[in-house]
Amino acid sequence: MTPLEALKRYFGYDSFRPGQGEIVNAILTGRDALAVMPTGAGKSLCYQVSALLLPGITLVISPLISLMQDQVKALNNAGIRAAFINSSLSEAQIDKALTLAAEGSYKLLYVAPERLESSAFRSFAAAAELSMITVDEAHCISQWGQDFRPSYLKILAFVDSLPRRPILSAFTATATRAVQEDIRCTLRLQDPKVLVTGFDRPNLYFQVEATRRKDDFVLQYLRDHPGESGIIYCATRKNVDKLQELLTEAGFAAAKYHAGLTAEARRTNQNDFIYDKAPVIVATNAFGMGIDKSNVRFVLHYNMPSSMENYYQEAGRAGRDGLPAQCVLLFSAQDVIINKFLLERRENPDLEEEDAALLYQRDLQRLQVMEQYCRTTACLRNTILTYFGEHPTAPCGSCGSCNNVYEQADLTDAAKRMINCVAELRGRFGKAVVFGTLQGANRARLRELGAPGLKSYGTLQALPRDTLDRLLAQLLEDGYLVQTDDQYAVLRLGDITPLKEGAQVLVRLPPRQEPERTVPKPQNRSIMDSLTGAGLALFAELRALRLEIAQSEGLPPYVVFGDKSLADMCLRAPRSVEGMIGVYGMGERKYEKYAARFFAVIEAYRAAHPDAVLSLALPAAEPAPAEGETPRKAAKGPKAAFSLTEETAGQFRYGDAYTGAELKAALAEAGGPGMKAPTIKAIEAWLLEQRLIAMEKLPTSGFYYVPTPAGVDAGLRSAERVSARGTPYAVLQYTPPVQRMIVEHFIVK
């Protein structure tokens, strides 16, 4: 079996990720190896595939019990013989595991470093055929790292005690040179293959939110990301308790984790999170090492962490499955003050004064780096990568800084109106009534309150809702208005003296649509993007099956299949069980165990929705729109009221992905003022006639259009949206080739 065959057969993946193949090949030629790769890059796979191909046993030294248990479960489920030995087992269980290991029953054996000292274990190791010793999370060996474990220092003595030196391989995500050197020296690696891959995690979106109203931000964030799994890190146990309570009261299933809880509570809460019972966990930095949950969609930091090393490691727990994920840091100047305070107060009784002073300087510097990250307007991703020694050239185009090129707008006038409105309403109502009044909305509730009789009624009619939101946030930030903490979130006057004395209110607004956009970011397109509304519905059914299986087998859902595998099933929607073979992450064992059940769901879905177009990526079937469903035919080009000449067509301004409305506007502009604008409906009707789009029905009476495979070829795209009621649908997007086609359609010769 070659490494690639093993990868396919056991893990169901077609190719190695960058660096993996090199490490495996080096190990298989008998060389030591040191791999520095970011979290989620696939370090475990490097030694697991190697272990499968080496003759005897591979011993994996791993710092955390939960980490071992998870990995062993996942390996067993992939049909690989593996076991762990740690303090969660009884003596009898340990004896049994060692006996089985000695008989060659396992390819991989996971142990905690403390175990290496036990005499029973040493005599087992001396007699067994140990091919490789792998040190996972190898930065734990370095005093320079943040997770130094003294017990890691015992690994070397253990290796020396063996009759024959096995291959040594070490893996870590911590980048700095000092740590790498430490690992090499302390483990005495012999001419190791050293591999340091790039630190970028392209699927992570970085953002910093400067806000003092963090609770509101978190609540709104969770409302905007229903059902998604995420971690919220807080600096202190107290914050964890408070925030978790707040979220629970607001109706979110959120678990909590910190060192102040009993071991039992921590285990339960962690499992609730891993098994998706509580999709969100609020935790201190005690949580996370060894958490392999692959579908974490966001990591929020409620407080600024104390170093970039910590931040990147914690944030890096998002998006291990490679799908887009967000890392948002909530920053307030208070965080810096508290961190400095803690640093100054820290006592290091074991350290010489000089060392303590050095340590203090180092940590202060780390804090400053973090603060710079929070305050920078430069590309956030590049700020991180530069810190870790890389030299990125262009801004990434997909982080909070790159996407929010703000303009400062002077909204002092509007601010006064908003404040007057709050005063007129006597500080008794929340945002909905205040905004409704300012916009002059015609609502029964407002009439009931007598709002139309107020002076401020309708005075900010011209401002878009989004600007009102930003203005309000600024007024709260400046203290001109205050909002109550209760569920009514009533707006009241704050201290408006500075405003009376002539202070300005500056609000950061996104720039008005400029023709040139920031760098497009194709790398962030995910496999999920190709699923239509129907595809997403099938995805949900597959997820339900996954949960059912996970529960009955006592496995975390992602050990059964990752989200990406389920999405791939929807994309391929095979017509036979055998068609499931190529699915992402479908190894032989999983195929035998699960393929038929997942296939049955796909088939049932198709039977119930024979016309459904599941995805836009693979032209699985000819999705001709059903007869009789076609709406009224629109008038053909020449008869349409709107038309272009060769000349006016030349004026058409092409843009990279227009919505229907943008396309319509661009057409109208090219046509000139004397021309009636074309309707989007007419454009869609023509596309339908050309079989470039097809209709998707919503569960309600509505429908929307998605491109057919021919439409995709022609340049039509589909962008996912979710309705206010939570129903997914899609809108059409028009790229230049199809813009050209439509322009030509309207030309009258």
**Least distance between ligand ADP and beta carbon 234 (Å):** 23
Among ligand ADP, Mg ion, none, residue 237 binds (CB under 5-8 Å by kind): none
Task: Write the CB contacts of 647 (distance below 8 Å, at least 6 apart in sequence).
Answer: none
> Which DSSP string do the residues of 349-414 spell out, in sequence order?
TTS-HHHHHHHHHHHHHHHHHHHHHHH--S-HHHHHHHHTT----S--SSBHHHH---EEEE-HHH
Task: Write the CB contacts of 729 (distance below 8 Å, at least 6 apart in sequence).
Answer: 533, 696, 698, 702, 704, 720, 721, 722, 723
Among ligand ADP, Mg ion, none, residue 533 binds (CB under 5-8 Å by kind): none
Helix (H), strand (E) at residue 703: strand 703-707
Enumerate the H helices of 654-708 as residue ranges. Answer: 660-671, 680-689
**Least distance between ligand ADP and beta carbon 190 (Å):** 24
Q: Token digits for 386?
A: 């530069």
**Least distance between Mg ion and beta carbon 292 (Å):** 7
CB nearer ligand ADP, residue 41 or residue 566: 41
CB nearer ligand ADP, residue 13 or residue 302: 13
**Least distance between ligand ADP and beta carbon 20 (Å):** 6
**Least distance between Mg ion and beta carbon 146 (Å):** 16
Long-range contacts from 148-156, C-beta under 8 angstroms, 24+ separation: 149/63, 149/113, 151/112, 151/113, 151/114, 152/61, 152/63, 152/113, 152/186, 153/186, 154/113, 154/114, 154/116, 154/117, 155/61, 155/113, 155/116, 155/187, 156/186, 156/187, 156/188
**Least distance between ligand ADP and beta carbon 41 (Å):** 4
Among Mg ion, ligand ADP, none, residue 37 binds (CB under 5-8 Å by kind): ligand ADP
CB nearer ligand ADP, residue 45 or residue 232: 45
Residues 35-64, interacting with Mg ion (CB under 5 A): 43-44
CB nearer Mg ion, residue 43 or residue 572: 43
Phi-psi region of 207 (alpha: psi -120 to 50; beta: other; left: phi over 0): beta
Among Mg ion, ligand ADP, none, residue 45 binds (CB under 5-8 Å by kind): ligand ADP
Q: Token digits for 471?
A: 């203005």
With CB under 5 A as the rule, give the number of residues binding Mg ion. 2
CB nearer ligand ADP, residue 70 or residue 696: 70
CB nearer ligand ADP, residue 8 or residue 717: 8
| Nearest CA among 717, 735, 719, 297 for reference residue 533 | 719
**Least distance between Mg ion and beta carbon 588 (Å):** 23
Cα distances (Å, whole numbers) of residue 105 to 97, 102, 206, 688, 740: 9, 7, 45, 61, 65
Among ligand ADP, Mg ion, none, residue 648 binds (CB under 5-8 Å by kind): none
Answer for the pair 50, 28: CB distance below 8 angstroms, yes or no.
yes
Among Mg ion, ligand ADP, none, residue 302 binds (CB under 5-8 Å by kind): none
**Least distance between Mg ion and beta carbon 43 (Å):** 5
**Least distance between ligand ADP and beta carbon 283 (Å):** 18
> Which DSSP string do the residues of 273-293 spell out, in sequence order?
HHTTSSSEEEE-TTS-TT---
Cα distances (Å, whole numbers) of residue 57 to 34, 128, 169, 720: 19, 8, 14, 48
CB nearer ligand ADP, residue 202 or residue 427: 202
Helix (H), strand (E) at residue 256: strand 254-257
Give the span between the Cα atoms of 154 and 451, in whole angstroms: 75
**Least distance between Mg ion and beta carbon 45 (Å):** 9
Give the span between the Cα atoms of 346 and 361, in whole angstroms: 12
Residue ranges that bind ligand ADP, judged by CB under 6 A? 13, 16-17, 20, 37, 39-45, 292, 294, 320-321, 562
Give the span between the Cα atoms of 210 and 371, in whole angstroms: 11
| Nearest CA among 223, 258, 220 for reference residue 239 | 258
CB nearer ligand ADP, residue 243 or residue 318: 318
Among Mg ion, ligand ADP, none, residue 16 binds (CB under 5-8 Å by kind): ligand ADP
Burial per residue of 611-632, b for 16 or more beta-carbon CB atoms within 10 angstroms, e otherwise:
bbbbbbbeebeebebeeeeeee
Among ligand ADP, Mg ion, none, residue 172 binds (CB under 5-8 Å by kind): none
Cα distances (Å, whole numbers) of residue 135 to 6, 58, 188, 398: 22, 11, 12, 34
**Least distance between ligand ADP and beta carbon 329 (Å):** 21
Among ligand ADP, Mg ion, none, residue 294 binds (CB under 5-8 Å by kind): ligand ADP
CB nearer ligand ADP, residue 60 or residue 549: 60
Cα distances (Å, whole numbers) of residue 403 to 324, 517, 525: 16, 9, 16
**Least distance between ligand ADP and beta carbon 369 (Å):** 23
Among Mg ion, ligand ADP, none, residue 254 binds (CB under 5-8 Å by kind): none
Give the residue nearest to Mg ion (CB): 44
> Helix, strand, coil shares of the chain as percentages rounded to 5?
45, 15, 40
**Least distance between Mg ion and beta carbon 528 (Å):** 24
Q: Rounded to 5 degrees, what angle do the CA atoms 229, 234, 235 make?
A: 155
Among Mg ion, ligand ADP, none, residue 41 binds (CB under 5-8 Å by kind): ligand ADP
User: Helices 353-375 & 308-315, crossing angle to 10 degrees?
Assistant: 60
CB nearer Mg ion, residue 67 or residue 507: 67
CB nearer ligand ADP, residue 20 or residue 174: 20
Among Mg ion, ligand ADP, none, residue 276 binds (CB under 5-8 Å by kind): none
Among ligand ADP, Mg ion, none, residue 42 binds (CB under 5-8 Å by kind): ligand ADP
Binding status of residue 229 toward Mg ion by CB under 5 A: no
CB nearer ligand ADP, residue 374 or residue 586: 586
Among Mg ion, ligand ADP, none, residue 230 binds (CB under 5-8 Å by kind): none
CB nearer ligand ADP, residue 41 or residue 280: 41
CB nearer ligand ADP, residue 39 or residue 648: 39
**Least distance between Mg ion and beta carbon 114 (Å):** 20
Among Mg ion, ligand ADP, none, residue 534 binds (CB under 5-8 Å by kind): none
**Least distance between ligand ADP and beta carbon 21 (Å):** 9
CB nearer Mg ion, residue 10 or residue 373: 10
Among Mg ion, ligand ADP, none, residue 643 binds (CB under 5-8 Å by kind): none
Give the residue nearest to ligand ADP (CB): 42
Residue position matching structure tokens 């050239």 = 393
Answer for the pair 747, 645: CB distance below 8 angstroms, yes or no.
yes
Radius of gyration of the chain (CA): 30
CB nearer ligand ADP, residue 16 or residue 121: 16
**Least distance between ligand ADP and beta carbon 282 (Å):** 23
CB nearer ligand ADP, residue 97 or residue 549: 549
**Least distance between ligand ADP and beta carbon 390 (Å):** 18
Among ligand ADP, Mg ion, none, residue 317 binds (CB under 5-8 Å by kind): none
Long-range contacts from 413-417, C-beta under 8 angstroms, 24+ separation: 414/460, 414/463, 414/467, 414/471, 414/505, 415/471, 415/474, 415/475, 415/480, 415/499, 415/505, 416/499, 417/456, 417/459, 417/460
Residue position matching structure tokens 């929010």 = 404
The identity of residue 388, as a single letter, is F
Query: What residues line the site for Mg ion (CB under 5 A)?
Result: 43-44
